[in-house]
A and B are shown apart, each in its own frame.
Chain A
């Protein structure tokens, strides 16, 4: 089923935020701080204001003390910095001018007096006694601090045959999307704000802008453009340029456009948290897990943003995919004077899954057990229909296909027959990993979502949903679900792009929730509209609505299909027979909120998602023994349990893309190198974004478990593969070279010295 938006994208018709142009538009530019940590003493905008072509200049003070954040308790960030800057290039002022050049020139003319302050640039500096504070009201620079305990890990360790402790590290990563943020903002009148922006979740900016400009929500209109990928925020959240554009538009009375460059994106926008994970695991003699204890330290950057959730997710799913009765974790996220950290594909879980699944191979080696066999001894079995598996931290699992995933992936890669190969200077090894990922994320706070189905008089159907398609294909899935329920074809359904003036609220593309939660809302809306039609048909045939069905654009009596009426006629009848009807179906998703209680971040208890996907990944790696360059080969298999693949080709692409860019990227290529808050490699060549030549042609195997809590049995697809790629690749490197790389990425120099060291130790 080709995506409904594919044509617009392939012809160039699709408009992304930077493509939007409106009459009378001005260009905005943001002035940025040259210090990573400094007090702002004074800003003089007079020279900038006098430059011909400049229409307005704004500073942080113009926002009247407004602060925003991901949740009510964490509103610590300003639209433009007012008293202090906390990361390099943080925005302090902005200019609107008649063209981009003048706007930038004007920025240069803004004179800012700073008092540079000492800063902290990693969690270890941040946690030191007497370290400079990023936020005065956060002693110890602590952003997030969780301590959970389930069962009795100490007792279990003492009873374990083998206990092992290792420390792993995940890198500071760019989101990697190729479209830099852009926005066009204007005020149709003094009380209404309209914004075209690349937002993965327009409803976050909608609330934030409402608070910022003190407008009722109904007056804030975010019109969704096509979005060049998101991967969990930046494009949900706001950037300095967004607030600047809106304020400049207010001041000038003209539309203002702000376009970030890729350099901006790579220096000031959100990054994946770098994390340091110490994991201690105790096992029985035959490799069964007895207890796991983790200590996670992460770098949250300058502001809180989504760190509470990101860090929560590192622990909450450690009890999947293997049966684990004793689990303890201490998670601390620190503020530093670095750009903000936030969500990225494989959110939170990928860090600890990497550590756990590599350590599992280390333990298997020590015990002399095959790594796949060891995993199979620990996997949670698929609950029988109607039954539930509950983890010690109260995750509710109705379907778990990980055992089948592991078996199928192992078979497809010919795991049993594998041998370490050496051909000239190249060595080959195969690595394995398994993992789980939540879908239908149940966030705290406003989590509801809804859909509206409108049936037009000619039988064509509008679908309005707040769910955003940032590339994952949800538009197509939502449209297909609507068509399926109504008994019509995909062509008959027209999905309206998200526009907060018309589409119902939705938390957005986030936590793999769109298919599951927005899908449910869409199905309910379609059912509601269908029911209205069936009632009309029922009157016509003298039967009860329950006796009718609609399929292949025909409504018919189930027990007597000859009694039928074509779709278009039924709709016309409903609309025009006096007094006429307007057919609007509405539906909500309740799964996200009512079925289980919300997860408790402080205790680590409760469902983080509606259901859970499972993945197994087998990857062969080629290592150049002389240089340390490692590369994935085409010998690559992912077996993924997404419940039921609603659109199999789309699932394939999601799974492969989810494993390669953020997964293999983390394992082999991607890392921001920093020097006291300065990004040393802020371009897509020095920051090695994964490319086509090195991409493995991965085979995807679907494992079907039909989850009762997902629409048509579906669970998420794609973040699971993100979590399994890094351990599979690192385990493969070990198979090829005998070396364990515990701090990602396994860049050539790192692997080279590690191999050299091993050779010397062996002598």
Chain B
């Protein structure tokens, strides 16, 4: 039947959720409306801006470009899943301390993009950082501080200072 809701199971930030969603529902809507995880932003809805980026099974993806039903059974990490209580993830700390945040709207998507990059490639070249950042648009920082913040976080995560 058209539009018949489907049962899906999502593991978001380590927690299991059983949901019923209409097939056309985007993963972005499920995260924000059903799970109230509004850290992941609603941006362009047409796969251009990247502020909706989350990590699905260790890969950065646009949550506006995945049907929730396709995410069934997968592990999803959103920005809310990064900090451990009061302790920020090194990437979050780097962004805060390095002046890489202005209006902040692109930050959750950008931080998740950086996390996916550094988890896969702990020692990226600047070129590789730029390519990762290319997937999330910003309108006010000028990207320089953000690229540097990712490099600072990478060094910290590798054990440097």
Binding site for B on A (CB under 8 A): 2-3, 5-16, 18-19, 21, 175-180, 226-231, 259, 261-263, 470-473, 649-650, 652-654, 656-661, 683-685, 689, 691-693, 695-698
Contacts and interface: CB of A to CB of B under 8 A. Distances in A.
Contact of B98 (A21, A649, A683): A649
Contacts of B99: 2-3, 649-650, 652-653
A19 B39 CA distance: 8
B142 A10 contact: no
A684 B92 contact: no
Contacts of A3: 96, 99, 101
B51 A692 contact: no
Contacts of B107: 9-10
B72 to A, nearest CB: 22
B130 A684 contact: no
Nearest to B22: A101
Pairs A-B, 10 closest by C-beta atoms:
A12-B39, A471-B103, A9-B104, A228-B105, A262-B44, A692-B133, A471-B102, A19-B38, A12-B79, A657-B142
Contacts of B49: 178, 262, 684
A263 B45 CA distance: 9
Interface stretch (B55-63, B116-124, B144-152): B144-152
Nearest to A345: B140
B118 to A, nearest CB: 15
A498 to B, nearest CB: 15
A654 B139 CA distance: 11
Contact of A692 (B96, B104, B105, B134): B134
B48 A661 contact: no
Interface string B86-121: 001000100111111111111110010000000000
Contacts of B82: 11
Contacts of A18: 41-42
Interface of B: 32-33, 36-46, 48-49, 51, 78-80, 82-83, 88, 92, 95-108, 111, 130-131, 133-134, 136-147
Contacts of A685: 48
B156 to A, nearest CB: 15
Contacts, number: 174
A81 to B, nearest CB: 26
A653 B145 contact: yes
Given A228-B104, A471-B140, A653-B99, A259 B145 contact: no
A178 B43 contact: yes
A5 B104 contact: yes
A656 B104 contact: no
Given A3-B96, A177-B103, A659-B142, 17 more contacts: A8-B104, A9-B104, A10-B88, A11-B88, A11-B92, A12-B39, A18-B42, A178-B44, A179-B103, A228-B104, A470-B103, A471-B140, A652-B145, A656-B144, A661-B138, A689-B139, A695-B147
Contact of A2 (B38, B45, B46, B97): B97
Contact of A229 (B43, B96, B97, B140): B140
21 contacts: A7-B88, A10-B95, A11-B82, A177-B139, A178-B49, A178-B105, A178-B106, A226-B103, A229-B105, A229-B139, A259-B42, A262-B43, A262-B46, A263-B44, A650-B99, A652-B99, A653-B144, A657-B142, A683-B46, A692-B147, A693-B130
B143 A6 contact: no
A183 to B, nearest CB: 14
Contact of B142 (A179, A228, A262, A698): A698
B146 A692 contact: yes
B77 to A, nearest CB: 12
